């Protein structure tokens, strides 16, 4: 067996070139090259060097990914969940109620100005608005029957009237904007 002086691969005794790195194993006179003098620890082929470097990079990336995932908060921890047991404020989830009072037929649009709900009816009706306490509120109501009766619109917050508007005009309409 002949050891290659470049990569350290053990070749057959008849080999002229190294089977691993194609290094010439004989000198110009055809004599075997003495490889006992060369003792480098980096005597491996180029392909093996590349494979080792790629392996180190892959292990580094896996380790980084593992550490990154461990240090991130869980989905439950990353959500800013606020829970209320009712001990601080005794308010409803939707504190606003719209009340339309009219003896005839009417139509109304109400809610957050960006998301208005259309309702129609007759007589007095109450509607819980899908709005939070910090939302702007808009209510617009109109008579449909041209009656001279009084159309009243009220906005209640937690049961207390915070805005009110009335009209007696035959084709009257009334609105409330509340911030």
> 23 is in which domain, residue-wise?
2-68
> What integer best gives the mean pLDDT of the chain?
83
Q: Are residues 102 and 173 in the same domain?
A: yes
With respect to residue 82, please indicate whether it lies within any of the assigned structural domains: no
- The alpha carbon dihedral of 102, 109, 138, 98 has a sign of positive
Q: Are residues 171 and 114 in the same domain?
A: yes
Q: Are residues 14 and 54 in the same domain?
A: yes
| Separation of alpha carbons 99 and 8, rounded Å | 93
Question: Domain end: 68, 83, 117, which one?
Answer: 68
Residue 44 DSSP class: S
Q: Are residues 57 and 123 in the same domain?
A: no
What is the tally of structural domains in the chain? 2
With respect to residue 116, please indicate whether it lies within any of the assigned structural domains: yes
Q: Are residues 42 and 104 in the same domain?
A: no
Q: In this predicted structure, what is the pLDDT of residue 110? A: 94
| Separation of alpha carbons 71 and 92, rounded Å | 38
With respect to residue 86, please indicate whether it lies within any of the assigned structural domains: no
- CB under 8 Å to 49, separation ≥6 — which residues? 42
Can you say how many angstroms the Cα of residue 32 is from the centroid of all Cα atoms in its chain? 68
3-state secondary structure of 97: strand
With respect to residue 74, please indicate whether it lies within any of the assigned structural domains: no
- pLDDT tens for each residue of 66-84: 999 888 877 666 665 556 5
Q: Are residues 105 and 54 in the same domain?
A: no
Question: Domain end: 29, 51, 68, which one?
Answer: 68
With respect to residue 78, please indicate whether it lies within any of the assigned structural domains: no
Q: Are residues 100 and 153 in the same domain?
A: yes
With respect to residue 117, please indicate whether it lies within any of the assigned structural domains: yes
Question: Domain end: 68, 85, 116, which one?
Answer: 68
pTM score: 0.47
Q: In this predicted structure, what is the pLDDT of residue 80? A: 59
Q: Order of strands across the sheet with 151-157?
A: 125-128, 96-101, 151-157, 160-167
Under a CB-based contact definition with an 8 Å cutoff, are residues 41 and 64 in contact? no
Q: What percent of the chain has pLDDT over 70?
A: 80
Best CA proximity match to 177, nearest among 133, 128, 139, 134: 139
Mean pLDDT per 10-residue interval, the chain, length 179 residues? 88 86 76 55 78 96 92 68 53 81 92 91 91 88 86 92 90 89
Q: Are residues 100 and 172 in the same domain?
A: yes
- pLDDT tens for each residue of 132-161: 888 899 999 999 887 778 999 999 998 899
Best CA proximity match to 2, nearest among 25, 20, 29, 21: 25
């Amino acid at each position: 067996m002949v050891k290659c002086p470049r990569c350290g691969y053990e070749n057959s005794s008849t080999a002229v070139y190294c089977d691993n790195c194609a290094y010439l194993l004989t000198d110009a006179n055809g004599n075997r090259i003495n490889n006992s003098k060369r003792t480098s620890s980096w005597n491996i082929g180029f392909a093996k060097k590349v494979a080792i470097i790629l392996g180190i990079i892959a292990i580094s990336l896996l380790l980084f990914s593992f550490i990154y995932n461990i240090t991130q908060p869980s989905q439950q921890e990353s959500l800013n969940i606020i829970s209320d047991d009712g001990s601080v404020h005794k308010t409803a989830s939707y504190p606003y109620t719209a009340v339309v009072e009219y003896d005839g037929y009417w139509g109304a649009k109400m809610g957050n100005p960006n998301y208005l709900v259309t309702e129609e009816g007759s007589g007095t009706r109450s509607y819980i608005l899908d709005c939070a306490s910090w939302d702007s509120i808009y209510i617009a109501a109109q008579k449909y029957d041209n009656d001279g009766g009084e159309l009243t619109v009220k906005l209640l917050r937690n049961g207390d009237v915070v805005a009110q508007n009335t009209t007696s005009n035959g084709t009257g309409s009334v609105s409330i904007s509340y911030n």
